[in-house]
Amino acid sequence: MNYEKIGSASGIVLAVSKSDKHTFSKDNCSSIKLLKGLGVEGDAHLGKTVKHRSRVASNPNQPNLRQVHLIHSELLDELKDSFNVTAGQMGENITTQGIDLLGLPRDTFLYIGETAVIKVTGLRNPCVQIDQFKSGLMKAVLERDKQGHLIRKAGIMSIVMESGEVHPGDPVRIQLPPLPHIPLERV
- Predicted confidence at residue 1, as pLDDT, reads 46
- Predicted confidence at residue 51, as pLDDT, reads 81
pLDDT single digits (tens) 34-52: 999 999 999 999 999 988 7
Global pTM reads 0.93
- Measuring CA to CA, how many Å separate 98 from each of 8, 13, 17, 167? 13, 9, 18, 16
Cα–Cα distance for residue pair 184/100, rounded to 1 Å: 12
Answer whether residue 174 shows pLDDT above 60. yes
Q: Is residue 96 a contact partner of residue 102, using CB atoms and an 8 Å limit? A: no
Looking at per-residue pLDDT, the higher value among 15 and 2 belongs to 15
Helix (H) or strand (E) holding 153: none
